[in-house]
Amino acid sequence: MAAPTAHGHARKVGQFYSNVRQEGVDRRQTQRIIRMRNFNNFMKSILFNTYVKQGDTCLDLASGKGGDLNKWKIQRAQHVVFVDVAAESVEQSKERYENRHTKSFSASFHQADLTRASSDKWSPPLRDGIEFDCVSCQFALHYCFESESQCRQFIKNASERIKIGGVFFGTTPWSEEIMRRYRHAKKVDKKEEFGNSVYKVAFTRGARDPPRIFGATYHFQLEEQVDVEEFLVFQPVFADICKEYGLELVMRKSFKEFFEENREKNMDLLYRMDALETVTENGPREARRGLTYAHAEDVCDNTTVQVGSLSRQEWECASLYVVFAFKKVR
């Protein structure tokens, strides 16, 4: 069930993710979109490698079931605070930590609607006096854009305990690209939705365009992972509010740009995480239902025997996201 402090949409989101089944490694490897999941983890790993230092005290906002526990371990964080709206997710995260990571770093676990509850209202409340070197929020920021007050409370939770010089970093949907594809679908296909067999973004008929700054909703479906209403994140507004709370934007890039900048110098990590499918002129090494690789097959010739690539369908979804980082300046 969702946290007692959760209301409305936050409660629905908490309930949805609590009900998503936690899968073992063997079943994950058979999923149709396993490469995209690994790719997203690769992108997050680059962020962690960039902004988390050995010995840091860290805050993991909307931490879910603890999907980034290994990343905190790899970076040798000293202490991590995990907080999420979903009670079951918090408990599963705590259990995973206690089973595998207690010798790597210390941790505390909290339940709260981060869009409404200040840190003294979390369950349990955040310890007085603790300060963070870095704050992470992965694939969850969009839920705070339900209203201006909720957005401000979320950013306050992210910013108020960061040390001067500390960093708030993460990943979030790219609202400008979402709207570009939506407008194209309306104009060309006469539809209020776009996507493919992997994902779908659907707006209500007659949705405002341009949309509201806060509370602009769309329904997002991602195979086996997501089926909820989300909110557009307007990046200039996000940056302006962060600035009010002492956070200065130092980096924002599309997944495409960020990947291209970091691919060559992180090839070993990319290979270890199995984030791309191996493709030859005859097709992918592991064919998965409905996923196509013609763009990669065409690259292969006598000099290039094979390449690594996501499927066209997975890339169309992954390219809907941006990475960001803010520095605490005051």
Annotated binding site: 40-41, 44, 62, 84, 113, 138, 143
User: From CA 217, how far away is CA 204, in angstroms rounded?
Assistant: 8
User: From CA 20, how far away is CA 199, in angstroms rounded?
Assistant: 17
Please enumerate, by residue number, every residue annotated as part of a binding site for mRNA.
40-41
Residue 95: helix, strand or coil by DSSP?
A: helix
Please enumerate, by residue number, every residue annotated as part of a binding site for S-adenosyl-L-methionine.
44, 62, 84, 113, 138, 143
User: From CA 203, how far away is CA 163, in angstroms rounded?
Assistant: 40
User: From CA 234, how far away is CA 237, in angstroms rounded?
Assistant: 6
Which residue, chain included where needed, has tokens 């990046």? 235
User: From CA 141, how far away is CA 157, in angstroms rounded?
Assistant: 12
Which of 92, 215, 242, 268 is closest to 158 using CA atoms? 242
Burial label, 240 (beta-carbon count in 10 A; 0-12, 13-18, 19+):
exposed
Which of 25, 32, 26 is closest to 288 using CA atoms? 32
